Structure 1
């Protein structure tokens, strides 16, 4: 069975990351620190000439990161909405503290990682996110057997990817980091996943934020 290697990169920092403000599908661009992080990730990846393709969420902060990676790898980013951030519904635009204070009952279900809880007003459940991300990953694996690719995405998506690869429950508290612009490597042999490296930040002058709950 030919192995597919996927290098997943979280987008660089935004001002909303720094404010611990929930972005979801709101299109926020990189701040100055995030641009530098994206350049650093691109420089680190530039030494890897074996990448067959570059995929990215179509949200601005991911696209801006992917554009820098693409220049370093001489690859044009292919936009895939399957790798968009989770839709956080009524929480989008609020900080985590504001969300907890204004909607305590809803936030408790969110914080408790109830897999089938759909966040009101256009939000998405963890199970829906899981299905979307798995479909996106499987599409990449089928298209690139025996190859290596890059995927630029978001914290919520990476939370799901880590659980898929390690076989961890959606309900389990997070026991891994997801810093901005960190490098993560996973491999797929058919339907079998392996984790090669996670949360690598050696390329960053300052470790990226992990403001996620």
Structure 2
């Protein structure tokens, strides 16, 4: 069973890459889960907030029928082309199920790559994964970056999803809007603002670490925006699974190359959350 998603819906050969250097518009369309979600933006865990809205869906754990394909560039742990920064973007692990998942992705990165530094969203669910990776990779520094946070949902933060439309109808309407420039009342971001924030952050990291390999731990919405930057002609990369590995190469000329997308082969032995808090537009 493969969860690899690539630009134009085609699986590339093992050594191929996909690139873009153009600015893009954010894709339209939004869907809502039938389950309750939690809109947390303060870094606190949601272990006792099952009745709150979240940027993530309820999950079910499934056993993988077979090992997922390892789709990695042949460079492995060797040096990075000095013209580029190679950034391994990982979606945070989910508290409550995947201590093993965090350890597995950390162990994989330590074995396969020589990482110079780890960046992370400053929200707890990302920091937990980032610290695990940093420790496993030899005690690396973790640099917290607020620009790697998930989309801020304004007045909807912390509300019960089933009651959001009644309590904050304007904010709920903004979240459901097909307009990518629609801001959510209460300080919430539009999809365009999210896109600009996180793509600018990754480009900044790329410039600072040219010729190096960096790990970045962040959230589903951020990673989807990065995918659109690298693959502007593709509508969607699909769901972004917890602890998935996504590898980008960035140059000073703002050329982005997507080398690996949605790789969770490190989870093939213990199971993976295929519906794991969605990984879609409203997930964290």
Pair in the same fold by TM > 0.5: yes
Please, which moves more after superposition, 36-45 or 92-101?
Answer: 92-101
In structure 2, what is the equivalent of residue 26 of structure 1? none
Unpaired runs of at least 5, structure 1: 14-29
Per the alignment, in what secondary structure is the counterpart of residue 112 of structure 2? coil
Is it true that 1:187 corresponds to 2:249 in the alignment?
yes
CA change 1:38–1:95 in 2 (3 A) is farther
Q: Is the 8 A contact 1:177 1:210 kept in 2?
A: no
CA change 1:118–1:42 in 2 (3 A) is same
> What TM-score, normalized to structure 1?
0.81
Whole-angstrom CA distance in 2 between matches of 1:153 and 1:125: 18
Indicate the RMSD between aligned Cα atoms, in angstroms. 2.1
CA change 1:206–1:96 in 2 (3 A) is farther
Relative to its length, the structure with more strand (as a share) is 1
Whole-angstrom CA distance in 2 between matches of 1:63 and 1:159: 19
In structure 1, what is the equivalent of residue 88 of structure 2? 7
| Number of equivalences | 193
1:110 to 150, 172, 175: 175
Matches within 5 A, 1:13-32: 13=94, 30-31=95-96
Per the alignment, in what secondary structure is the counterpart of residue 54 of structure 1? strand
CA change 1:49–1:195 in 2 (3 A) is closer
Unpaired runs of at least 5, structure 2: 1-81
Q: Which contiguous aligned blocks of 4+ residues in structure 1 show a shift greater than 3 angstroms?
A: 94-109
Q: Is the 8 A contact 1:56 1:62 kept in 2?
A: yes
Point out the structure with max Rg over C-alpha.
2
